[in-house]
Structure 1
Amino acid sequence: MISIEGVSKSFGDFKALDRVDMKVAKGEFLVLLGASGCGKSTLLNLITGFEKPSTGRIVVNGREVKDIDPHCGMVFQQYALFPWLTVAENVAFGLKMKGIGAAERRATAQRYIEMVGLKDFANAYPKALSGGMRQRVSIARVLANDPDVILLDEPFAALDAMTRQVLQEELVQIYEKSGKTIVFITHSIDEALMLSTRMVIMSARPGRVACDIVNDLPHPRNADVQLSARFNELKTQIWSTVQAEVMRSMESRAPH
């Protein structure tokens, strides 16, 4: 579904990514992990076409990404909802832009609003919702547009621990139902293990692929998976790699 081929990205003299090669299969849930500043968000922006590679190319579902790609749906840490639209209107907004009729828009929006557990809030405005509920609306809006790929940039980072765990479980269920290809950024190893089918650990700046790990924890998956011996084995393996890259990152920024 996604092919990243020899991609580097520089901003002036600052090199964010260096010769990244990566393939993401259809239906995979890939989580990107790594120290702050290792280029994870830059890579997502390249996949969706917000930025262009300095070298190399990115192909999504057979099409080289040359501009903002409507076949990729993005969920940000901040909810980016229209405050003057209801939940249903926010979820249906992309469908309206595509020229889809009102009845079909309403039916599609309602289906995804129910999928994220907000059936009773379809006519509410964002100001009446909690942070976790707003993020569910953002996810429903992306799903309603039926993109080939869903990209999520630390979508749960601003939420409290309990809400975060609830939304992690809901996202796993949505993934299991929809079979979408998902790329998700997080700094949390526990979150990566809970969500992913595969994890890529990025190196310290400039970002490269430091480690690529298949997550073989069984599905269907919920928070109880954290009690398994395999969860702790994978966590230890990932932590040793992440820790080494964080130390490299700190050393590279230290004054000499």
Structure 2
Amino acid sequence: MDAVANGHKISIQGVTKTFSGKRGTVTALKDLSLNVEDGEFLVIVGASGCGKTTLLNLVAGFDAPTGGKILLDGQAVTGITPECGMIFQQYALFPWKTVQENVEFGMKMKRMPKTERLERAARFIDIVGLNGFEKSYPHHLSGGMKQRVSIARSLANNPKVMLLDEPFAALDAMTRQVLQEQLVRIYEKHRKTIIFITHSIDEALLLSSRIVVMTARPGRIAQEIVNDLPHPRNADVQLSSRYMELKRTIWDSVQSEVMKSMEVETG
């Protein structure tokens, strides 16, 4: 049965990824298998260097597996696809384009009619709370505002899957919390399939429907945890006993993999 028949939006099947360099061959991922369901918010955590970003790049089609395969809606991922929207830690905005023009860019490349393009851009600029900044350029915006433009641009393109690589890591704590809660509201409304990478267990618990802990390199799946914290989620959920129980479980798993990683580096 293929991935669609099984109901999987993304199926990562026995994926291995190796890189060759001056120090020889490095295996970033080894025989990693993982399914992501339609409308799921999957968060991946793990020690630095465990292959989280490598995995996201493979799903996005920026790179190809050395072994195994990745299916999106049952079709092999063989290159970059507009069905995946990628949001990076660095904002990747066009500095010479306004907020409006940045959000419109992908739609313009798809030759969407101007009237529809303007309407969609306005709608998603409103969703991320940037009304009044349509004509502003990126250098006039704060880091949090730039990341909101990135999110609006991705949503406006209507991707089947959103891939986010530590998008809030460079932001201050208060801005990060505001954007986390905003992303939760967007997810609850639009139910996009999301894969999100973070080093923060608190962020993982606030956002996810499921959390995957990766092993130290070579990356595999160490543990999968269903996040059953109630919706709507905000900072108050962190006060619950269930939150603390889940956090302790994830921390124990991540800490174990971090220690293994340190042993490899010093061994």
Question: Do they superpose with TM above 0.5?
Answer: yes
Shift of 1:62: 2.2
The answer to whether the aligner puts 1:209 opposite 2:217 as a matched pair is no
- Which of 12, 16, 21 in structure 2 is aligned with 1:4? 12
Shift of 1:98: 0.3
Shift of 1:163: 0.2
Shift of 1:138: 0.2
Could you state the TM-score of these two structures normalised by the residue count of structure 2? 0.95
Deviations 1:151-209 (A, max 9, x none): 00000000000000000000000000111000000000000000000000000000000
Q: Distance in 1 between matches of 2:109 and 2:195?
A: 25
In structure 1, what is the equivalent of residue 3 of structure 2? none
Q: Distance in 1 between matches of 2:168 and 2:246?
A: 22
Report the AA paired with residue 230 of structure 1.
R
- Which of 130, 137, 144 in structure 1 is aligned with 2:142? 130
The answer to whether the aligner puts 1:31 opposite 2:43 as a matched pair is yes
The residue matched to 1:119 in structure 2 has which SS?
coil
- Which of 163, 182, 186 in structure 1 is aligned with 2:194? 182
Shift of 1:69: 1.5
Q: Distance in 1 between matches of 2:75 and 2:133?
A: 37
The answer to whether the aligner puts 1:235 opposite 2:222 as a matched pair is no
- Which of 117, 126, 130 in structure 2 is aligned with 1:105? 117
In structure 2, what is the equivalent of residue 223 of structure 1? 235
Q: Distance in 1 between matches of 2:74 and 2:106?
A: 23
In structure 2, what is the equivalent of residue 51 of structure 1? 63
The answer to whether the aligner puts 1:74 opposite 2:86 as a matched pair is yes
Q: Distance in 2 between matches of 1:253 and 1:228?
A: 37
Deviations 1:76-97 (A, max 9, x none): 0000000111101100100000
In structure 1, what is the equivalent of residue 5 of structure 2? none
Deviations 1:112-171 (A, max 9, x none): 000000011111111110000000000000000000100000000000000000000000
RMSD over aligned Cα atoms: 0.6
In structure 1, what is the equivalent of residue 170 of structure 2? 158
The answer to whether the Cα contact below 8 Å between 1:61 and 1:148 also exists between their aligned partners in 2 is no
Q: How many residues align?
A: 255
In structure 2, what is the equivalent of residue 248 of structure 1? 260
Could you state the TM-score of these two structures normalised by the residue count of structure 1? 0.99
Q: Distance in 2 between matches of 1:181 and 1:28?
A: 5
In structure 1, what is the equivalent of residue 212 of structure 2? 200
